[in-house]
Amino acid sequence: MDVPPIQITQAPPLNAGAAPFLAKAPPFWLPMRHFVAAAFSFWLFAAALVWGNSRLLGFSFDARWALGLTHLLTLGWVTMTIMGALIQLMVVVHGVPFAAPGRLAWAWALLTAGTAGFVGGLWAGWDRYWIAAALVFAGVLIYLQVFVESLIQGGKLDWTGRHVAVALAYLSLVILLGLLLAYDRERGILFHDPRGVLIAHIHLALVGWVSLMIVGASYRLVAMFSLSHIESKAPGLVALVLANVGLLGLALDSLLGSRRLLSAWACVLAAAYAAYAFQMNGIFRGRLRRIDPALAYTLLALLGGAVWAALGLGLAFGLVKDGAPQEIAYVLAALLGWATPFILGQIHKIVPFLVWLHVFSPKNWRPPLQIPRTQDLASEKAAWWEMGFLAAAAYSLIGGFLLESPALIRLGSWSLLVCATLYAGNTALTLSFLKRPWTPSKPRP
């Protein structure tokens, strides 16, 4: 970061800026506390995986440990990051003033406390972990209320907004089923087929909530970061229709207890992903920018999505052994192979941009004075290393659980911890600009 400091008497105001949407945007601390909590959860997941990966294979398999790890990743990392990004995205997409920081602060507190209590309760052997699940439920309800209000105020939904609306609808089903499952786990009075309900819950979360949100965001963010233009939305429309048909069919088939058509629904969902990949191919082919870490992460995510779809087909048709390790591989393909690369790629753009916007906004400094660029607020080299360790981690873990290989699982666990540590360090580097006494410099002759 070649930006020489100059002695100053006062740092620039944090909330000043020339960007038009700053007046409508949420307080800087609101999305940022989501991103910081998510980074910590990601690191904690990786550290816990290193420490306790032996509990996930063979006779030492610990269902509570596996369930806690899964929800630390889904709630603490993936959902927490999506919520923080949505807080910003709603303003950008709809251009409506943000008016609910207080409610979302409560939602963040409930989601954070609920996730910590739920995961900690599982690991500690607490039977009433459904109480913590109720906190998560309450927090997500507040998020849903605020986001639905924003969608209504924004008027007609655009392409991204439709995906957000559908994903939020699925999220409401996810948290309801999750709470009922947690309450009924030790009682067995609500569901005669808990495994079927669990299958529905998992796919409503991974496909309906996480994936549709990622797909909708990718149409806007990837196109914007690559300076590409979407000429035809037909493949994306096909993907959206097929994803809903496949997901609803699979969920109903699982909830009703028959599960006779899972292979058919798996084919529909795989076709949906193929249509989405075709749409993304068009965006990448029309790009005007080089492949930077953000776009490279997106390509890695597209590969992970293909692996996830292939594993789903293999499990549905009996080509892959249907055991606990193979099911863990399937979930990790979704969360580490597909969702995490996309999240990291976009967050490496979003967090530096937010910090730059609130610290180095053009309203504070006027040309010909020079200020850091957004890419100067983070280490691109570290981002490339993060991606390399993430790829090694994801595919070592997927392969390790498929083959039930402790050596591969250990390798993947340590690689993921390195990735999470680098990401936390890069995030801390960006946030450090909030306190640095930077001043603009004159251009060199």
Q: What are phi and psi of 59, to 5 degrees?
A: -70, -20
Of the chain, the percentage scoring pLDDT greater than 90 comes to 58
Q: What are phi and psi of 441, to 5 degrees?
A: -120, 155
Tell me, yes or no, whether 126 lies in a domain. yes
Predicted confidence band of residue 95 (pLDDT cuts 50, 70, 90): low
Looking at per-residue confidence, does 102 or 117 come out higher? 117
What pLDDT sits at residue 9?
31
Q: What is the CATH number of the domain that holds 274?
A: 1.20.210.10
Average pLDDT over residues 30-56: 95
Average pLDDT over residues 201-230: 87
> Which of 329, 140, 177 minimizes the C-alpha distance to 251?
177
pLDDT(17) > 50: no
Predicted confidence band of residue 104 (pLDDT cuts 50, 70, 90): very high
Cis, peptide link before residue 368, omega less than 30° from 0: yes
Tell me, yes or no, whether 348 lies in a domain. yes
Tell me, yes or no, whether 229 lies in a domain. yes
- The residues, ordered by sequence, that sit 6+ positions from 149 with a Cβ below 8 Å of its Cβ are 100
Cis, peptide link before residue 27, omega less than 30° from 0: no
Predicted confidence band of residue 14 (pLDDT cuts 50, 70, 90): very low
Tell me, yes or no, whether 445 lies in a domain. no
Lowest-confidence pick of 56-65, 228-237, 273-282, 307-316: 228-237
Positions of E strands within 83-188: none
Predicted confidence band of residue 2 (pLDDT cuts 50, 70, 90): very low
Tell me, yes or no, whether 234 lies in a domain. yes
Tell me, yes or no, whether 10 lies in a domain. no
Of the chain, the percentage scoring pLDDT greater than 70 comes to 87
Q: What are phi and psi of 370, to 5 degrees?
A: -105, 140
Could you tell me the two tokens for 121? 């309760």
Tell me, yes or no, whether 1 lies in a domain. no
Predicted confidence band of residue 100 (pLDDT cuts 50, 70, 90): confident
Predicted confidence band of residue 365 (pLDDT cuts 50, 70, 90): low
Other residues' Cβ atoms within 10 Å of the Cβ of residue 9 = 6
pLDDT(16) > 60: no
Average pLDDT over residues 335-348: 95
* 113-161 tens-digit pLDDT: 999 999 999 999 888 888 999 999 999 999 999 988 888 887 777 888 8
Tell me, yes or no, whether 408 lies in a domain. yes
* 238-264 tens-digit pLDDT: 999 999 999 999 999 998 878 889 999
> What 3-state DSSP class applies to 301?
helix
- Residues 258-262: contacts with CB under 8 Å, at least 24 apart: 259/196, 259/199, 262/316
CB contact at 8 A, 24 and 95:
yes
What pLDDT sits at residue 441?
56
Q: Helices 406-431 and 29-52: crossing angle, nearest 10°?
A: 160
- The residues, ordered by sequence, that sit 6+ positions from 366 with a Cβ below 8 Å of its Cβ are none
Report angle CA 298, 300, 303 to the nearest 5 degrees.
115
| Enclosing domain of residue 44 | 20-434
> Which of 276, 391, 275 minimizes the C-alpha distance to 344?
391
CB contact at 8 A, 219 and 230:
yes
How far is CA 400 from each of CA 60, 61, 309, 373, 417, rounded to the nearest angstrom? 16, 15, 18, 41, 16
What pLDDT sits at residue 12?
38
Q: Which range in 145-149, 204-208, 233-237, 437-441 is most confidently predicted, on average pLDDT?
A: 204-208
What pLDDT sits at residue 10?
35
pLDDT(373) > 50: yes
What pLDDT sits at residue 144?
93
What pLDDT sits at residue 4?
38
> What 3-state DSSP class applies to 370?
strand
How far is CA 167 from each of CA 86, 172, 297, 319, rounded to the nearest angstrom? 12, 9, 22, 30
User: Half-sphere exposure (CA, 13 Å, Cβ side) for 123?
Assistant: 17
* Total number of domains in the chain: 1
What pLDDT sits at residue 22?
63
Average pLDDT over residues 363-388: 79
